[in-house]
Structure 1
Amino acid sequence: MPPPRDPRLIAAIVASALFMQNLDSTVIATALPAMAADFGVPVPRMSVAITAYLVALTVFIPVSGWVADRFGARRVFLAAILVFTAASALCGRAEGLGALVAARVLQGMGGAMMVPVGRLLLLRQVRRDQLLTATTWLTMPALLGPIMGPPLGGFLTDALSWRAVFDINVPVGLLGMGLVWRFIPDLPAGDPGRLDLTGLALTGIALASLMLGIETIGRGVLPHPLPEAAMALGLGLGWLGVRHCLSVPSPAIDFTLLRIPSFNVPALAGSLFRVGAGAVPFLVPLTLQMAFGRSAAQSGLISFASALGALLMKPVVRPMLARFGFRRALVGNGVVAALSVAVCALFDASWPAAALFGVLLAAGLSRSLQFTALNTLCYADVPQNKLSAATSLYGTLQQLSLAAGVAVAAASLEVLTALAGRAEPVRADFAGAFLVAGLAVLLAVPLYARLPADAGEGAWEQRRAKARG
């Protein structure tokens, strides 16, 4: 089947996988208090249900590019959707936190192949001047997941059970598989070379150890030396992994991509931004339910405002970036994004729902501009033969930073609650966690300023040449 001329068709179909993943992540955040009550554990401890999935994504994403090149991107994409859908059904059948975490790890393995391989399918079939259009079409349908997730998750939790929030992935996954099979052309499998098992082992164990330490340190989940030892092990193996990957011709993770300025800054500064931004979807539903006493459905109807703001921003991203350039947009909007997270610390039970909704809507507008600019800039100057490696490295950093954001937010809640001698977090504890998240977003701003003034010109140059011709 020849590839369709319009990349928007491929982008919209690939977005069905992103839709399912984003729906899943936002639905579960709204249902955490009900899940904690069912399993008999403190609510902040339920963060492991989110981070276990994200860590599995992080560990297995580096191999996704090699697997796609070896077996064919379309075939791998279909298999990944199948694994993700089956794991979702297992999550809905879990009878304890341990079983849920195990199913979430399997779900993460599917997601690790599903999203980056789907993005690779798209990137290999669009021209550079179509990159921003394709990225926008890829993310806009996927944003329906976060918009629908909180209110749908709250409604299902109140009306049926938290288990229903996982079951909704099943029909979405089946539909996505059908669309991929019918409309997306296959990319031929190739010879990606020998798989770097040593690099995969070093980086995978390092990432898992680091996240185990971040998730448990200072929270009394593990005995005192173990979280610190896990973090030390992760840092040590991470250093060895980087050295190894820089010394072999076909590494598991190609760190030489960080020498490209337009890739380096989105990868590193973007990771700091995502730590703070990733904390918000976790903190907002818990604040509304635990600190303000709202139901899961009420929480969902308010917290989806951020995703709505993100969707509304998408049509104006292109003209804004064309007008101001990537560097100026990222620096200026980075400050705005940090303030939009920090202002959530002012939330109070006396605020009307409309005021809470308005603040979260504005925050979603700002974070959407930052996400889209970073995700477009990172591929603007990457050579075609490095796209597989770039999607693997960037996807790994994305998921690691989002997992770290949830873990840092949960740890902040538990530490602040324990320091105050309380059994459950209150408004002041949530306010402190929001301030920590806002600080992480702000710390990325000086790194954006290191970009050259013409950063990202590769995303526009072919379009400008066509216009002049």
Structure 2
Amino acid sequence: MPVALDPRTARLLPWLVAIAFFMQSLDATILNTALPAMATDLGENPLRMQAVIIAYMLTVALLIPASGWIADRFGTRNVFFGAIVAFSLGSLFCAIAQNFEMLIAGRIIQGLGGALMMPVGRLVVLRTYPREDLVRIMSFITMPGLVGPLVGPSLGGWLVEYASWHWIFLINLPVGVIGCIAVRRHLPDLRGIDTSRFDGFGFILFSTAMAMISLALEGLGHQTMSPVRMTLLLLAGMGCMAAYWLRAARFDRPLFSPTLFHTRTFAVGLLGNLFARLGSGALPFLVPLLLQLGLGHSPASAGMSMIPLALAAMAMKPFAKPLIDRLGYRRVLGGNTVALGVLIASLALLGYGLPTWMLWALLALLGAVNSLQFTAMNTVTLIDLRDTNASSGNSLLAVVVQVAMSFGVATAAALLGGFGEDPGRPVIEAFQLTLLCIGGLTILSSGIFLQLHPVDGGPTSRIDKRNEVEG
């Protein structure tokens, strides 16, 4: 049952969660715009800077499995407060980094905070609002977070061009201070009913699997790891993952129970998130590099070009619930995923002298479609879960989101590096081929969402599931 909130807290809570989303989205969009300048300053290849992004995502993916238990044990208020503090300290460490290794260390510290900030914030919303309001609340809390992508690219480009890339991390600090004060005053302190046991061995197996698979794909993107080492890491990672699920099937309180997948919307939504986000995860890495390295834009110009994408994403949020209510999750996600893949592939046209207004229009369409995709995927994954497994399902979703995005970056980097190996091939052509491949993979993932039933995620679906449980 949802927790009863006083009217003032009910109004403020979505804004508190949105502050955390804003910090992370601002950091990600500013960072992507600044990658070429950071690479030059640190003596790295701009096309191989994906480690800065993957270090954060991998840290988050490793620690998110424990986020639900930590929140249940220590309370959502304390954990959310600590997460904002860790993220802010990591930002400060990145800002004072003097070399590539220090920068990676700062990103890992940020990941410690991000691993708790995202899933705990979503868990608070899941436990305090009725399921029928979930689409509306999820759309609302992500809308202020979309101000980050709106401000981030242009602000990051301006800071890189006229100041220093170190400042892109410092702007997280005042937002973090505001967030800490607001959390202490207004966030409800929710705790789980039973927090006596934690599946430590399962956590080790699951996290080790994620680390090995991610490192193998990251090595593929760098193209510096030997094929033998990458193969061993992939096989070992898949072996640990298989061992985890076999153990979870007979363990009484696993980290993530296989029974979660008895809920069809959760199973389809989770797999859809894993594969459909490959394209969405690659975009923030690819587009700023394409504009700067492929088309010769300045950092400030590349940042300004991303504004239509963020504006359209914000404008689409109010329409998400009416579209889903009218068409259903199956139609929305099946068709929207195809549209997303086509738009990603169409970015390959940017190398053929496309006028500025067409570039902005294309990015605006991409932002609107991407926004609807995120809202629908996240909501359908969680909407039919019962309160008893909401924490576990929410944490697993958060893991999959981070892993899929890191896989997207690694895949894009590997394709870009592979297509760019030919010395006679222009850089812009390597970007075009990469975008076509990423777009094609996204289109193929639409078949996953077609496994939904037309009524899945709707009121009728939830009534049927309650009757099954009661019967």
TM-score tier after normalising by the smaller chain length: over 0.9
In the aligned structure 1, how far is the partner of 2:86 from the partner of 2:258?
A: 29
Alpha-carbon offset, residue 189 of structure 1: 5.7
1:289 paired with 2:283, answer no
Query: Partner residue of 2:432?
Result: 431
Please, which of 5, 9, 22 is the counterpart of residue 3 of structure 1? 5
In the aligned structure 1, how far is the partner of 2:238 from the partner of 2:197?
A: 26
Alpha-carbon offset, residue 8 of structure 1: 4.3
1:21 paired with 2:24, answer yes
Alpha-carbon offset, residue 440 of structure 1: 2.1
Query: Partner residue of 1:374?
Result: 377
CA contact under 8 A between 1:69 and 1:189: conserved in structure 2? yes
Alpha-carbon offset, residue 269 of structure 1: 1.4
Query: Partner residue of 2:347?
Result: 344
Match of 1:441, as an amino acid? T
In the aligned structure 2, how far is the partner of 1:86 from the partner of 1:145?
A: 19
Query: Partner residue of 2:219?
Result: 216
> What is the TM-score when the length of structure 1 is the normalising length?
0.94
Q: Which runs of 4 or more aligned residues in structure 1 lie more than 6 Å from their structure 2 counterparts after TM superposition?
A: 459-462
Alpha-carbon offset, residue 460 of structure 1: 9.4
CA contact under 8 A between 1:153 and 1:297: conserved in structure 2? yes
Shift in alpha-carbon separation, 1:123–1:2, aligned structure 2, 3 A: closer
Written as runs of structure 1 = structure 2, the 5 A alignment for 1:157-236 is 157-188=160-191, 190-217=193-220, 219-236=222-239
CA contact under 8 A between 2:4 and 2:128: conserved in structure 1? no
Please, which of 44, 48, 51 is the counterpart of residue 48 of structure 1? 51
Deviating more after overlay: 190-199 vs 359-368: 190-199
1:131 paired with 2:134, answer yes
In the aligned structure 2, how far is the partner of 1:169 from the partner of 1:112?
A: 17
Query: Partner residue of 2:256?
Result: 253
Alpha-carbon offset, residue 329 of structure 1: 1.0
Alpha-carbon offset, residue 217 of structure 1: 2.1
1:156 paired with 2:150, answer no
1:73 paired with 2:67, answer no
Shift in alpha-carbon separation, 1:169–1:275, aligned structure 2, 3 A: same
CA contact under 8 A between 1:310 and 1:368: conserved in structure 2? yes
Identity score, percent: 37
Alpha-carbon offset, residue 425 of structure 1: 6.5
Deviating more after overlay: 390-399 vs 214-223: 214-223
1:361 paired with 2:393, answer no
In the aligned structure 1, how far is the partner of 2:460 from the partner of 2:394?
A: 17
In the aligned structure 2, how far is the partner of 1:97 from the partner of 1:258?
A: 41
Alpha-carbon offset, residue 209 of structure 1: 0.8
Match of 1:436, as an amino acid? C
1:421 paired with 2:423, answer yes
1:235-290 CA distance string (max 9 Å, x none) = 11111122122221211223321221111111001211101111111110000000
Unaligned runs of 5+ in 2: 464-471
In the aligned structure 2, how far is the partner of 1:160 from the partner of 1:28?
A: 15
In the aligned structure 2, how far is the partner of 1:351 from the partner of 1:362?
A: 16
CA contact under 8 A between 1:276 and 1:436: conserved in structure 2? no
Alpha-carbon offset, residue 318 of structure 1: 1.2
Match of 1:168, as an amino acid? I
In the aligned structure 1, how far is the partner of 2:397 from the partner of 2:191?
A: 23
In the aligned structure 1, how far is the partner of 2:332 from the partner of 2:80?
A: 34
1:328-386 CA distance string (max 9 Å, x none) = 11111121111111100111262232221110100111111111111111111100111
In the aligned structure 1, how far is the partner of 2:184 from the partner of 2:367?
A: 34
In the aligned structure 2, how far is the partner of 1:219 from the partner of 1:285?
A: 19
> What is the TM-score when the length of structure 2 is the normalising length?
0.94
Query: Partner residue of 1:387?
Result: 390
1:56-86 CA distance string (max 9 Å, x none) = 1111000000000001011100001100100
User: Does the residue aligned with 1:272 lie in a helix, a strand or coil?
Assistant: helix
Query: Partner residue of 1:466?
Result: none
Match of 2:28, as an amino acid? S
Written as runs of structure 1 = structure 2, the 5 A alignment for 1:89-104 is 89-104=92-107
Please, which of 316, 319, 326 is the counterpart of residue 323 of structure 1? 326
Match of 2:319, as an amino acid? V
